[in-house]
Amino acid sequence: MKTDHNSLARQQETENFVPKPKTRPAAPVESEKKLTAPAIREIFARFQAANPEPKGELEHVNAFTLLVAVVLSAQATDAGVNKATRALFAEADMPEKMLALGEDRVREAIKTIGLFRNKAKNVIALSRALIENHDGEVPADRAALEALPGVGRKTANVVLNIAFGEPTLAVDTHIFRVANRTGLASGKTPLAIELALEQAVPEEFLLHAHHWLILHGRYVCKARKPECPRCLIADLCLYEPKTTLTEFKS
Domain ranges of the chain: 32-54+169-248, 63-164
Out of 4, 119, 154, 188, pick the active-site residue: 154
Looking at residue 15, its pLDDT comes to 38
Alpha helices in the chain (DSSP H): 5-15, 37-50, 63-72, 78-91, 95-101, 103-109, 116-134, 142-146, 153-164, 173-182, 190-200, 206-219
172 carries an active-site annotation: yes
In the Cβ-directed half-sphere of 179, how many Cα atoms lie within 13 Å?
30
Look up the CATH architecture of domain 32-54+169-248. Answer: Orthogonal Bundle (1.10)
pLDDT less than 70: residues of the chain: 1-32, 248-250
Looking at residue 218, its pLDDT comes to 95
Looking at residue 138, its pLDDT comes to 98
pTM of the shown model: 0.84
* CA separation for the pair 179, 173 (Å, rounded): 10
Looking at residue 173, its pLDDT comes to 94
Looking at residue 21, its pLDDT comes to 37
78 carries an active-site annotation: no
Looking at residue 111, its pLDDT comes to 95
Out of 4, 93, 97, 172, pick the active-site residue: 172
14-42 pLDDT, tens digit each: 434 443 333 434 444 444 578 999 999 99
Taken in order 71, 76, 78, 80, the sign of the CA dihedral is negative
Q: Domain 63-164 belongs to what topology?
A: Endonuclease III; domain 1 (1.10.340)
Query: 55 near 207, Cβ under 8 Å?
Result: no
